[in-house]
């Protein structure tokens, strides 16, 4: 038996009927919240609503294509400014990129501001025919500095659209660099020979450090950047993640609120990886920063010259417009075919 500071034994807590009732409330509340979540998921994502969500996906792809085309027009119609004299607002800058936290790309081992690497293998049997990802890694600096002959300007890279230099090594072309073979070995696989029926490829995309860099974004003073997220989803997830579940009393309503708050917190933390963290740079409030902005303007970081960036934006625009339009048209045709088949 535990004792108090003065040596007297502490009374042992005994569970009473109210405690057992509260435990029952908690168990029922957790089960009920789980059932509501599963029922809501099944209600939103099922065979009937599948066509609707596919059509929505096609619509957003189609819309994104026009956004890419708008970005291309902005790039082609905006004059390049100097880092030391760029005006507040939409700015286009060109120079060389620098950052403190530079890391080497896995295959080429080049110092990079951004890199991503993927290992794919072709599968030709069954319903899953096609390229399957075996490994994915990526890295990106949070802030960088663009330097030209006039000076430097800070760039906060959150939610930037990247235009990278892409390099692919395929098994039918022979052996890749030793660093790529090590990546493949990390997946537990071996690099196939040229005649293999299960070819592999390693893709590396990168933006080099201390090399040519093109940036288009919103230039503003640091004090004009909010300290908290401005968009709805990041604010909602942050609020859920920071709310600790509280059991106010012993009623079933309190137990249900406790289970709901716990479910929201778990969901927010699980989805937090999909939303970039809102961490504006800690610099002087009057220092100018290039960032995404809050007015829907383009924000592009490219490791290529402006002419190549224009070509990349054109390809992306047409790819999204054509694929999104095809997806919407295909969904409508299949839905009409299904509907007429039911009517018959």
Query: What is the per-residue DSSP string for 49-82?
Result: THHHHHHHHHHHHHHHHHHHHHHHHHHHHSPEEP
List CB contacts of 330: < 8 A, sequence separation 6 or more. Answer: 58
Q: Give CA–CA dist 227/315, Å, rounded.
A: 36
- What is the model's pLDDT at position 19? 72
Q: Give CA–CA dist 218/90, Å, rounded.
A: 5
Per-residue pLDDT reduced to its tens digit, 270-301: 877 777 778 899 999 999 999 999 888 999 99
Say yes or no to pLDDT of 77 above 60: yes
Q: Which residue has the higher pLDDT, 343 or 62?
A: 62
Say yes or no to pLDDT of 309 above 90: yes
Q: Give CA–CA dist 218/7, Å, rounded.
A: 68
Q: Give CA–CA dist 289/280, Å, rounded.
A: 10
> Sorting pLDDT into bands at 50, 70 and 90, what band is 15?
low
- What is the model's pLDDT at position 266? 85
Q: Which residue has the higher pLDDT, 280 or 236?
A: 280
Say yes or no to pLDDT of 328 above 90: yes
Q: Which residue has the higher pLDDT, 112 or 127?
A: 112
- What is the model's pLDDT at position 58? 95
| pTM for this entry | 0.81
* DSSP class per residue in 134-191: EEEEEEE-SEEEEEETTEEEEEE-TTPEEE-EEEEEEGGG----HHHHHHHHHTT---
Q: Within 13 Å and on the Cβ side, how many CA atoms surround 336?
A: 6
Tokens of 239: 């609020």
> Sorting pLDDT into bands at 50, 70 and 90, what band is 138?
very high
DSSP 8-class letter at 122:
E
161-163 and 300-302: which strand pairing? parallel
- Report the percentage of the chain scoring pLDDT > 90: 53
Mean pLDDT for 100-123 is: 94
Say yes or no to pLDDT of 215 above 90: yes
Mean pLDDT for 57-68 is: 95
With beta carbons less than 8 A apart as the criterion, state whether 106 and 220 touch. no
Question: How long, in residues, is the chain?
Answer: 344
- Where would I find the beta strands (DSSP E) of 241-295? 288-291
Q: 125-129, 142-146, 286-290, 332-336: which has the minimum mean pLDDT?
A: 125-129
Average pLDDT, the chain: 88
């Amino acid at each position: 038996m535990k004792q108090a500071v003065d040596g007297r034994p502490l009374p042992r807590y005994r569970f009473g009927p109210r405690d057992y009732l509260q435990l029952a409330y908690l168990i029922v509340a957790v089960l009920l919240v789980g059932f509501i979540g599963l029922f809501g998921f099944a209600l939103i994502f099922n065979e009937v609503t599948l066509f609707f969500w596919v059509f929505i996906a096609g619509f957003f792809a189609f819309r994104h294509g026009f956004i890419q085309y708008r970005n291309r027009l902005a790039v082609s119609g905006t004059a390049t400014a100097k880092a030391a004299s760029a005006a507040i607002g939409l700015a286009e800058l060109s120079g060389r990129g620098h950052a403190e936290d530079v890391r080497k790309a896995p295959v080429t081992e080049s110092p990079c501001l951004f890199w991503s690497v993927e290992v794919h293998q072709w599968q030709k049997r069954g319903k899953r025919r096609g390229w399957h990802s075996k490994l994915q890694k990526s890295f990106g600096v949070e802030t960088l500095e663009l330097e030209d002959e006039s000076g430097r300007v800070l760039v906060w890279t959150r939610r930037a659209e990247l235009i990278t230099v892409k390099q692919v090594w395929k098994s039918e072309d022979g052996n890749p660099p030793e660093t790529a073979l090590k990546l493949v070995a990390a997946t537990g696989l071996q690099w196939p020979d040229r005649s293999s029926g299960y070819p592999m490829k390693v893709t590396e995309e990168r933006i080099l450090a201390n090399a040519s860099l093109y940036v288009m974004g919103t230039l503003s003073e640091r004090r004009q950047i909010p300290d908290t997220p401005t968009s709805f989803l990041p604010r909602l997830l942050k609020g859920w993640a920071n709310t600790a579940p509280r059991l106010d009393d012993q009623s079933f309503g309190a137990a249900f609120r406790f289970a709901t708050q716990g479910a929201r917190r778990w969901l927010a933390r699980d989805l937090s990886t999909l939303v970039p963290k809102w961490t504006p740079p800690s610099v002087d409030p009057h220092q100018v920063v290039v960032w995404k902005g809050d007015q829907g303007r383009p924000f592009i970081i490219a490791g290529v010259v402006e002419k190549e960036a224009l070509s990349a934006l054109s390809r992306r625009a047409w790819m999204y417009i054509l694929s999104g339009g095809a997806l919407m048209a295909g969904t409508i045709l299949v839905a009409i075919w299904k509907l007429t088949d039911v009517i018959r």
